[in-house]
Structure 1
Amino acid sequence: MLHHDFRRFLNALDTLNPAQIEDAQMKIRDLRRKTEAISEIEARTNRDHKCPFCGDDRRQKWGRTRTKVQRYRCSGCQKTYSGRTGSAIGRIHRPDLFMVALRDMLGTSAPKSVRKLSRQLGLNKYTIWRWRMLVFSIIGDGGTTRFSGIVEADETYQRESRKGSREWVRHFADPKKVAPPPRPRWEDYTTQGLKMMPGLSRWQLPILTVADRGGARLFQRLPNRKSATLKRAMKPLVPGDAVLCSDGADGYKKVAATGGIEHFVVGSKPGTRVAAGCYHIQNVNSLHARYGEFIKPFRGPATKNLNGYIRWLEVRLAGVRPADVIRAS
């Protein structure tokens, strides 16, 4: 827009009525959202100049895409590409709304439910769900976390969930050919008066939580509650010169004994929660509380997606920005 046309546009704002002002604000908000999304995508291209097809770093501008993102033409293979080509977000038709969903996932406030966010953005709830699964694939595995000094370890538990599973549907459709699943549905415990198994059972999935006083932390889902499994998971995490603080589980004792690690056992009753003045597991207990607060609104995520939710919490606690996720895609 030319300068004098822009000045004429600003002067015309004084003549707008309240309804027109509201419409103008919505339009400007949408344009700002699209502009910010385009900037994040183009920043990814500016960071890596290489062609995603042949790796040549020679290129020239070649118009813009349908979503107004700068397109380039490779001087080597002559193919065109943009900042989204070859990335996990390459086939998203509304990158501006995807950025809104990503900011909701990684923001400081609690993330909205899929249904609430879909209503806010005017999208289908399954679109928001697919975007979240896409983000799970981008953030992936956080790699090996290094711990030192006083290392605290404990487990929390998540109830097993088979959301989306068709096993009971298949059984009811053909009970003669399809055997019933190994456990009742959770709703059957209330509707049919079944008794819950007391204490921890094999339907409670253990999640190992490790933290040190330097701020390093880790959530790791374990396949079972066996001491050998716990020992296998803890062995590469605790260095030989560290001090391990945990409860009295056999897995922790075996790790300490095998590696010659100083080990302090703390209890859950008053008077036993702190050993020798500074050895406790209050940091991991705090992480358990944050995990419970984070996972509660999802009403028990499907077990097959639990690792994604755990990694999502780790990314939120680490303060990862949406721009970092876009660059990693």
Structure 2
Amino acid sequence: MTLLHHDFRRFLDALDKLNPTQIEDAQTKIQDLRQKTEAISEIEARTNQGHKCPFCGDERRQKWGRTRTKVQRYRCCGCQKTYSGRTGSAIGRIHRPDLFMEALKDMLGTSAPQSVRKLAKQLDLNKYTIWRWRMLMFSIISNSSAAAGFSGIIEADETYQRESRKGSREWVRYFADSQNEPQPPRPRWEDFTTKGLKMMRGLSKWQLPILTVADRGGSRLFRRLPNRKSATVERAMSPLVPDDAVLCSDGGNGYKELASARNLEHFVVGSKPGTRVAVGCYHIQNVNSLHARYGKFIEPFCGPATKNLDGYIRWLEARMSGVRPAEIVRAS
């Protein structure tokens, strides 16, 4: 029930009579209400961006009460169907949009994101709920991410992520029925330690390349490549590098072939001391810095499953770009 002006003034005057314990309880309640209000306001802002009905596209509508989560509902004057800001969106079936906003703040905040279990305990939710929300966020930012535009001096290099089948049941099925189930293509990573297997040295097909590109204007991009072949690197770099750019990279054949085919000015730098700067300002230190940030970001997840690796890469890009939770809600 809506409070009248004089009722609201009486409520404010009653706050002076509260003891410290009651004040803390009131602050907790108000904080919970602010979380819910913030989520509702962002969902309704999404509705106000486009007035079209998600079913028929008619822009004529009328207010039609509120949903269970207190979000404004509308009825289309054309097809007579009702809808809200969440209808047809990726967050349409989330029952606690307020807690979903808190999970987004944890993922996109300035501090390091918490683990799924810690965040679930903090929000008093099941860990699988937080995990589903994280996968949902991956799908939203993957659909809304735009390719960066590069110019001037462009640095490029690759970093590598070890292949992971986390969550796969292939070894469990093989141990249970080795006669009918095929043996997985490689040993489990833990077996190299526990069983004393000889670790594969250097780069192999189990090291997944991630192309990293940056320029001096602040544009940056992470892109997972299917393999380390020169043709794959050249194909991935070709649409990113304009004809008047200067390319700085290591001595990989893919970069050399791209520069030769496009007649680009190309500076090759090495990894040994004294060779990390070609001439003057031509180096790949910005890309190496991105590699360090990627390693620090991905380390707490203990090798994410390869099938989800693209989502983690987009997540890192969103954090580095300063994407706000409200933008994720509106893009859904």
| TM-score under structure 1 length normalisation | 0.97
Instruction: Report whether the alignment pairs 1:222 with 2:225.
Output: yes
Matched residue SS, 2:83: strand
Looking at structure 2, the residues matched to 199 and 282 of structure 1 have their Cα atoms a distance apart, in angstroms, of 22
1:92 alignment counterpart: 94
SS for the counterpart of 1:86 is: coil
Partner secondary structure for residue 157 of structure 1: strand
Deviation at 1:6, TM superposition (A): 2.4
Task: Find the aligned partners of 1:282 and 1:63 in 2 and give their Cα distance.
Answer: 57
1:43-122 paired onto structure 2 within 5 Å:
43-122=45-124
**Aligned partner of 1:151 among 154, 169, 176:** 154
**Does the alignment pair 1:271 with 2:274?**
yes
For 1:18 and 1:143, the matched residues in 2 are separated by: 50
Match in the other structure for 1:248:
251
* Identity of matched residues, %: 81
Match of 2:235 among 227, 232, 237: 232
Aligned equivalents of 1:288 and 1:326: distance in 2? 29
Structure 1 residues 43-98: Cα deviation after superposition (integer angstroms, max 9, x where no partner): 01111111111111111111110000001111111111111011110000000000
How far does residue 11 in structure 1 lie from its aligned partner after superposition?
Answer: 3.0
* Distance in 2 (alpha carbons) for counterparts of 1:246 and 1:60: 58
> What is the correspondence of 1:305-324 to structure 2 with a 5 Å cutoff?
305-324=308-327
1:290 maps to what in 2? 293
Q: Deviations over 1:131-182 (max 9, x none)?
A: 0111111111524322111110000011111111010011011011112101
Aligned residues: 329
Partners of 1:115 and 1:150 in 2: CA distance: 43
- Can you list the C-alpha shifts for 1:98-138, whole angstroms capped at 9, x where unaligned? 01111111112111111111111000011011001111111
Q: CA RMSD in A?
A: 1.2
Q: Which amino acid aligns with 1:37?
A: A
Cα distance in structure 1, aligned partners of 2:20 and 2:148: 55
Map residues 177-216 of structure 1 onto 2, 5 A cutoff. 177-216=180-219
Greater mean alpha carbon deviation, residues 188-197 or residues 140-149: 140-149
Counterpart residue type for residue 3 of structure 1 = H
1:293 shift after superposition: 1.0
Look up the equivalent residue of 2:243 and give its one-letter code: G
- Secondary structure of the corresponding residue to residue 61 of structure 1: strand
Distance 1:143 1:37 in 2: 25
**AA in 1 matched with 2:281:** C
Q: Secondary structure at the match of 2:8?
A: helix
Deviation at 1:237, TM superposition (A): 1.3
Unaligned runs of 5+ residues in structure 1 are none
